[in-house]
Amino acid sequence: MRPALLDPLFAPLSSLPGIGPKLGDLFARLLNQESIDDCRVIDLVFHFPHSIVDRRNQPGIANAQPGVIVTITGRVDRHQPPPPGRSNQPYRVFLHDETGELALTFFRAKGNWLEKALPIDETVVVSGKVDWFNGRPSMVHPDYMVRLGEADNLPLVEPVHGLTAGLTSRVLRKAVEAAIARVPHLPEWIDQTLLQRQGFPSAFDAIHRLHDPRDETDLDPQAPARRRLAYDEFLAGQISLALVRQRLRKVAGRPVVATGALSKPVTGALPFSLTNSQQAAIAEVLKDMAGEQRMLRLLQGDVGAGKTAVALMAMLAAVESGGQAVLMAPTEILARQHFATLSRMAAPAGVTIDVLTGRTKGRERDAILERIASGETQIVIGTHALFQDNVVYNDLVLAVVDEQHRFGVHQRLRLTAKGISPHMLVMTATPIPRTLVLAAFGDMDVSKLTEKPAGRKPIQTVVVAQERVGEIVDRLRAALAEGKKAYWICPLVEESEESDLMSVEERHATLASVFGPAAGLVHGRMSGPEKDAAMLAFKSGETRLLVATTVVEVGVDVPDATIMVIEHAERFGLAQLHQLRGRVGRGDEASSCILLYKGPLSENGRARLSILRDTEDGFRIAEEDLKLRGEGELLGTRQSGTPGFLVASLEAHGDLLEIARKDAAYVLERDADLTSGRGEAIRTLLYLHRRDEAIRFLRAG
């Protein structure tokens, strides 16, 4: 049970004053939730400000710097409403101090309201940005206007929070203040010596300090309050991972003895020979599976390094020892593609393989579920539908999870919570730096595939300005005429007003006017069958140019596609660009990747694109990406079950992650059930960070 102490924080957000249905939708969007019903008070408590507005700058009108927020005290001289019938012209109010005159400018303002707020001959205090036109200063829609007598109410330092369209900072600030008022004094879960050595404030003080910064240094990642909350976040994550690990270790693994009866005919029939690093990874996996303890191994390999072959050998070993294996993929497209590839590769061994996704319905689904339950199906491939309650396995020995960063720790917990305790092999094509492996996976054993399969040609990468898009289209025309295939990737699905990015539908329309029916389209808003049909048409050659969003990022395999154009490349993370580039260069032909960018590029943007041009080494790219962009981007978006930290950042707080990992191990070694005084406090920490699944393990343990 969650401690009653935390109840006020887990109350619905709508229980805060003033948050009705209309505002509720805006808050849900701000907090990345489906609806206001999914938002809790704690979500706002952890919505920290990213900067401050400093109104202490009071230079006098004549000395106000353009574009800088200033506070001016002056006397109101006159009002100048727009001429009758010209409501599109602004309403101006003029005031002066001893240095000069300032025009306050309001668009579509009601005059009587301004006359009341800014009476003539009254001394007022206004705050906002000043702009200069023809040597005259003007302040458009001041943020604050108060009479001199009320100037004490003007907040001189004001935190700035992330907003969403339609939500004003004043409304948000009011809600945040109401949320913080509910934060209770929390028990201390950090060891006293560490607390003193690091100079950490209490969690209660840290939350208040971050929400009420006095100056820029309070918001610095190295400020004690931020480091304290970052440590809490890391500690909650590391304890959860350690509990999973402890639980996985508690349930003895079933030793899997590979006989080679199935893997020999399969390896013999492969059209390529396994690389040295594939052979080494297979040996590590089989050694783990043969032991008494359950395997929990991460297989890292660049795009095209041959992870699937390693996974297949592990799955065949599971079947050889009389059990079943599953392979779980993040998307429908990928699951069906793995099914096609593995069915082909495993054919010589005569293994029974089935595919199960959310789209498998009715009789077909019932038949598959029956085959899985009876053990007739030896290898099952699918999406997370594989672990829904109605799927019963006959004897599940191995679970392979593809593209782990789309499946958070929570899903791993859920799998184990079903009472299923198979060996686990997690595959990722995103090469992950060590600090991230720690954050996302705890101390998982890692195998790396460092070579590309034989016959893969290097991909030539060029960086081209958007203005030369016409030349690219001409080059594509020539390439398609020679029978080549190409991808064209866009960042958005549809044009939005505030963005000048080319939407995928618009780009498809312009390219279809050149290439006709040879140009296909695929994006995330299409239904599953539509996406599959579009991919199939491209694979079979019915379409030769596929215009797409990043849906094609993971695992779509079209070996004869040799050209990849990425529009607005400056908008993508390095790891993502590297993933997309890996969609070409999969056959025996030379391939190229064209990164189109819209100038001017920032220093950071230029650095990212040049790293990509200079290397195809995914591990080097990942390290650089972590330096340049941070972990939220490296693991995909923050909401996709990644360790998407709210306060912590791996670049800024990497030193704390290492301490948290050791601390978690130390705590659980001495107090495995978290029943001591500090253990109880850590339970509160786990609930606070929504690690409830980890706590269930303590009870189940």
Closest of 89, 133, 139 to residue 111, by C-alpha = 89
User: What confidence score (pLDDT) does residue 365 get?
Assistant: 92
CA dist 112 and 283 (Å) reads 81
Helices H, strands E: what count in the chain?
24, 22
- Name, in order, each residue with C-beta under 8 angstroms of 374's C-beta and a sequence gap of 6 or more: 394
Taken in order 609, 554, 532, 383, the sign of the CA dihedral is: negative
Q: How many CB atoms within 10 Å of residue 152?
A: 8
Give the CA distances from residue 50 to residues 173, 226, 261, in Å, rounded to whole numbers and listed in that order. Answer: 13, 12, 59
Q: What mean pLDDT is reported for the chain?
A: 84
Please give the structure tokens belonging to residue 624.
């650089």
Phi then psi for residue 540, to 5 deg, are -80, -10
Residue 493 has pLDDT above 60, yes or no: no
3-state helix, strand, coil in the chain (%, to 5): 45, 20, 35
Closest of 618, 604, 606 to residue 576, by C-alpha = 618
- pLDDT confidence bin for 196, thresholds 50/70/90: very high
Closest of 587, 574, 562 to residue 613, by C-alpha = 574
Percent of the chain whose predicted confidence (pLDDT) is above 90: 41
- pLDDT confidence bin for 401, thresholds 50/70/90: confident
- pLDDT confidence bin for 641, thresholds 50/70/90: very low
Q: What is the pLDDT of residues 345-375, one digit of tens each?
A: 999 999 999 999 888 888 999 999 999 999 9
| Element at 374 (helix H, strand E) | helix 362-374
Question: Which class for 352: exposed (0-12), middle (13-18), buried (19 or more C-beta within 10 A)?
Answer: middle
pTM: 0.60
In the chain, where are the structural domains located?
56-154, 252-449, 459-615
Name the pairing type of β-strands 100-106 and 91-97: antiparallel
In the DSSP assignment, the letter for residue 363 is: H
Residue 528 has pLDDT above 70, yes or no: yes
User: Would you say 424 and 295 are in contact if contact means Cβ atoms under 8 Å apart?
Assistant: yes
- Name, in order, each residue with C-beta under 8 angstroms of 487's C-beta and a sequence gap of 6 or more: 545, 546, 548, 552, 561, 563, 564, 565, 580, 583, 584
CATH topology of domain 252-449: Rossmann fold (3.40.50)
CA dist 44 and 131 (Å) reads 34
Closest of 359, 388, 252 to residue 372, by C-alpha = 388
Instruction: Give the CATH number of domain 56-154.
Output: 2.40.50.140
- pLDDT confidence bin for 122, thresholds 50/70/90: very high
CA dist 505 and 295 (Å) reads 45
User: What confidence score (pLDDT) does residue 433 get?
Assistant: 66
User: Would you say 258 and 386 are in contact if contact means Cβ atoms under 8 Å apart?
Assistant: no
Closest of 101, 154, 152, 148 to residue 127, by C-alpha = 154
Same fold, 252-449 and 459-615: yes
User: Would you say 580 and 488 are in contact if contact means Cβ atoms under 8 Å apart?
Assistant: no
Reduced 3-state DSSP string for 158-177: EEECCCCCCCCHHHHHHHHH
Least confident of 45-49, 292-296, 376-380: 292-296
DSSP string, 174-210: HHHHHHHTTPPPPPP-S-HHHHHHHT---HHHHHHHH
User: What confidence score (pLDDT) does residue 89 get?
Assistant: 87
Look up the CATH architecture of domain 459-615: 3-Layer(aba) Sandwich (3.40)
Q: What is the pLDDT of residues 51-107, one digit of tens each?
A: 888 888 889 998 898 888 899 999 999 999 888 888 788 899 999 999 999 999 998
